[in-house]
Structure 1
Amino acid sequence: MDVRAPVRRWRNAGKPQRSEVYLRWSLYFMALLQPLVVLLSLAGAVGIGLSGEVPALLLALCCAVTWLSVRAFSAAVDHYLGRPGDIDRRLTVLATAALGAVWAAALLCLRTGSTSDADATSLAAIVAGCLLVLWFGPVSVARPLRSVVVQGLLGLALLAPPLLLAGGDLATTLGILTGLSLILPALGASCRSFAWLLGVVWELDAAREAQSRLAVAEERLRFSRDLHDVMGRNLTTIALKSELAVQLARRGRPEAADQMTEVQRIAQESHREVRDLVRGYRTADLNAEVIGARAVLRAAGVECEIDLGEEAGDLSGPVQSVLGWVLREATTNVLRHSEAGCCRVRLRVDDGRAVLELENDGVPSPATAPAHRSNGTGLHGLRERLAAHGGELDLPAAAAGSFLLRASVPLAAGPTVLEHTPR
């Protein structure tokens, strides 16, 4: 059994998954505190004469209801987030168990015969209060506000008979219920706020994913619009002139050859325009990519340090273009495959080559480092682009939890090589 598996899963989880684990266990911890409170109360009760099997039975009752409460908390959070689950059954089982445990605790405290009525009432009130907390927490998460208020008042009302049975007078019982009525709203608000915060985290993650999809769709629409504007008129002209040439050829008119010559010219012009459109679409300007990378990374909460030095303005167009593509792809990888908090970009000229380095932290774990260093589609495409210019892409070893990408390209890279970049 790999004991490091939970740690690896935690490191590989995204921010929403980590937030959910943290907030869920905050609720679970609230439930798990109740047996400790009962245990401390029982320790004091033993000191005043409570003995026998009563403490063990009371603690067992509280632990059993705690286990049901944790399961109900889990189902309540799923219900709040709109996930399928059996919340009604779990809350019903929890309510029945909690009420039965309250009556059992009252009877046990009443029949000990070794404590005073005040001590028995106090111990029963503590146990009943803990059991009420264990039940009310999941209810406050899963039910609407009006239902939570009604059920909370009903739960307080159902506590009165067992507290009176445990030896408490009416004034003492009312005082206990009044104190619990002040605690329950704070408890419900805390539990509900944890669930609300978790819902906000998932909504933000979904909004970020939707924004990415919309950006891709918008870029596709822009490209299709540009392609339509370039090719629509030319293709219509080619169709009309081809039809005219057919009609002239059928009549034996020599002008048909002139029309076909015109069709050939328009086709060649269309080919040139499409090539220019694709080249413009695939061209990346280094300065523009720097501005975009800084804006995108900072929007994602990643501190960005970019140092292009004084050499950036002296680089040729093809060199700037290919390094711009490297920066674009590397920035995408930082957002997709890491939980980076800081990203550093450096450009330098060394021995007749422009060298661009990008380093980021937040690599999930050493176990996933090979996946980042594999020949994925994005990195494979960058290698092809750099190779077409005589450049290289290297992924040298970095510090633990960091990822380093280094791209180098000769300063004398020709501007015509970009047209033959394999895709």
Structure 2
Amino acid sequence: MSRPRPVRRWRALSKPQRNELYVRWSLYAVALMQPVVTFGMVAGSFGRGEVGGAALAVGAVGSPAAAALNAVLVRNGLAAYLGRRPRPRGWAGAAGAVSVGVSVAVLLLGPPAESEGASFPLTVAILTMTFWIATTAVALPAPETAAAAVAGLLLLALPLLLTGASPGSVAGMSTGCLIGSAIAACTARGSAWNAKVVWDLDAARETQARLAVAEERLRFSRDLHDVLGRNLATIALKSELAVQLARRGRPEAVDQMTEVQRIAQDSQREVREVVRGYRTVELHTELTGAASVLRAANVDCRTELSGADGLPAGAQSVLGWVVREAATNVLRHSEAANCRFRLRVSGGTALLEVENDGVPAVPPPRAEGSGNGLRGLGERLAAHGGTLSTAGSGPGRFRLTAELPIDTVEFKR
């Protein structure tokens, strides 16, 4: 039975994408609360004489318009906060102009401030300004948001005074509205900050995996340089000397070429030792290193070893490569929270399983030339009579299984 399309789309998103979508729609929901509350107040005040029809009409029409602009401001503002586009100051100004206009119009068209029906225009004005300030906090830097909030609330003071409110009441209401708006703005800005932190952590995780690969390449290149640099320089020098001696017909040219041959053979032997040291890994060391790296990336890593101590060095080396490649794949190609390495040895065969969660339903596109790690690992196992298989073990889960004979196949470097 296929899942509904929204569920499939949700499962296809990575964890940072899911978190951003949740934050975005949470802020949309906050913006939509404004017309819902206003419509409720309009419905409750309809037909009552203390609230004029003009004020009700402005609230019923202006509140959805302000909410729609706030929603657009959230959409563009969150993208700007995440560094994907410039700050939407134009949208912030448009939303602010509509919000202030609706608030001032409702206050002027409504009943006087000290009358019985004054709660409707006051509540609509405060709600409209609070929602605008909260969404502006996502789109603009904090100093600009604070300046816009103070300017908007000062503009509300004049219609309040014109409708008969005392200066003390106006100061008290403005202060209360400013405090409420500040709390709402901090909440909205905190949600956007949470989305940014999750994206930054995801980027750091990817960088960590790339640095681990780059460090190993650097070590290998450094070892090759140390081994070959001096010997190649000596070979070049002695070869040039042998050429000069041969042109003069000197018998010493043969001795120089013999020395070149000896140095070349020594270099060949040293290179084999470097490559052997690079290729030879120890299973317990690789497991310890993989668990440490995964736990540093907030992945709960567990190991289950049965019979690992009795494995010959060759088999441990091959399985150590499986552990190394599997840990790299978990870091680079999943959003794993849990990972398990399980080794079982029975009947002359070692079976290593690596299972993790956090696999997106639709894998992200890979760069050209990537994805060769598992292919090379399968070829390495096949050279020793082993097999490598991959399969999903459940929704969002991935399992890599390596099977290696340890008795009937001689290990070759």
Same fold (TM over 0.5): yes
C-alpha separation in 2, matches of 1:108 and 1:40: 19
CA drift at 1:117: 6.2
Q: Give the letter for the 1:83 counterpart.
A: R
Distance 1:214-1:396 versus aligned 2 partners, 3 A rule: closer
Residues 338-396 of structure 1 deviation map (CA, whole Å, 9 limit, x = unaligned): 2222222211123221111122222323x669x9xxx9522211211111000111235
Deviates more, 1:145-154 or 1:299-308: 145-154
CA drift at 1:20: 1.9
CA RMSD of aligned residues (A): 2.8
Task: Tell whether the 8 Å contact from 2:242 to 2:254 is kept in structure 1 after alignment.
Answer: yes
In structure 2, the partner of 1:402 is 397
CA drift at 1:192: 2.3
CA drift at 1:208: 3.1
Distance 1:315-1:342 versus aligned 2 partners, 3 A rule: same
What is the TM-score normalised by the length of structure 1? Answer: 0.87
- The residue correspondences of 1:59-208 to structure 2 (distance < 5 A) are 59-85=60-86, 87-110=88-111, 118-165=115-162, 168=165, 170-208=167-205
CA drift at 1:165: 4.8
Distance 1:301-1:211 versus aligned 2 partners, 3 A rule: closer
In structure 1, the partner of 2:379 is 384
C-alpha separation in 2, matches of 1:399 and 1:411: 30
CA drift at 1:129: 0.9
> Identity over the aligned pairs, expressed in percent?
50
In structure 1, the partner of 2:345 is 349
The partner residue of 2:244 within 232, 244, 247 is 247
Residues 119-153 of structure 1 deviation map (CA, whole Å, 9 limit, x = unaligned): 44211111111110122123323434333333222
Task: Tell whether the 8 Å contact from 1:346 to 1:356 is kept in structure 2 after alignment.
Answer: yes
Aligned residue for 2:359, secondary structure, equals coil
Distance 1:289-1:396 versus aligned 2 partners, 3 A rule: same
Task: Tell whether the 8 Å contact from 1:121 to 1:167 is kept in structure 2 after alignment.
Answer: no
Task: Tell whether the 8 Å contact from 1:394 to 1:406 is kept in structure 2 after alignment.
Answer: yes
The partner residue of 2:304 within 296, 307, 315 is 307
The question of 1:18 aligning with 2:18 is answered: yes
C-alpha separation in 2, matches of 1:82 and 1:384: 43
Task: Tell whether the 8 Å contact from 2:384 to 2:411 is kept in structure 1 after alignment.
Answer: no
In structure 2, the partner of 1:325 is 321
Q: Give the letter for the 1:333 counterpart.
A: N
CA drift at 1:415: 5.3
- The residue correspondences of 1:259-298 to structure 2 (distance < 5 A) are 259-298=256-295
CA drift at 1:167: 5.8
In structure 2, the partner of 1:421 is none
CA drift at 1:214: 3.2
C-alpha separation in 2, matches of 1:341 and 1:10: 18
Task: Tell whether the 8 Å contact from 1:357 to 1:405 is kept in structure 2 after alignment.
Answer: yes
CA drift at 1:47: 6.8
Q: Give the letter for the 1:94 counterpart.
A: A
Distance 1:383-1:124 versus aligned 2 partners, 3 A rule: same
Residues 221-280 of structure 1 deviation map (CA, whole Å, 9 limit, x = unaligned): 222211111001111111121112112211212221121122112112211211221221
CA drift at 1:96: 1.4
Distance 1:200-1:185 versus aligned 2 partners, 3 A rule: same
C-alpha separation in 2, matches of 1:44 and 1:301: 52
C-alpha separation in 2, matches of 1:197 and 1:28: 16
C-alpha separation in 2, matches of 1:225 and 1:181: 62
Gaps of 5+ in 1: 419-423
Aligned residue for 1:395, secondary structure, equals strand
Distance 1:95-1:116 versus aligned 2 partners, 3 A rule: closer
Task: Tell whether the 8 Å contact from 1:65 to 1:134 is kept in structure 2 after alignment.
Answer: no
Gaps of 5+ in 2: none
CA drift at 1:52: 6.1
Deviates more, 1:191-200 or 1:284-293: 191-200
In structure 1, the partner of 2:46 is 46
Distance 1:327-1:216 versus aligned 2 partners, 3 A rule: closer
The partner residue of 2:356 within 339, 357, 360 is 360
C-alpha separation in 2, matches of 1:3 and 1:397: 17
Matched residue count? 407
C-alpha separation in 2, matches of 1:382 and 1:252: 54
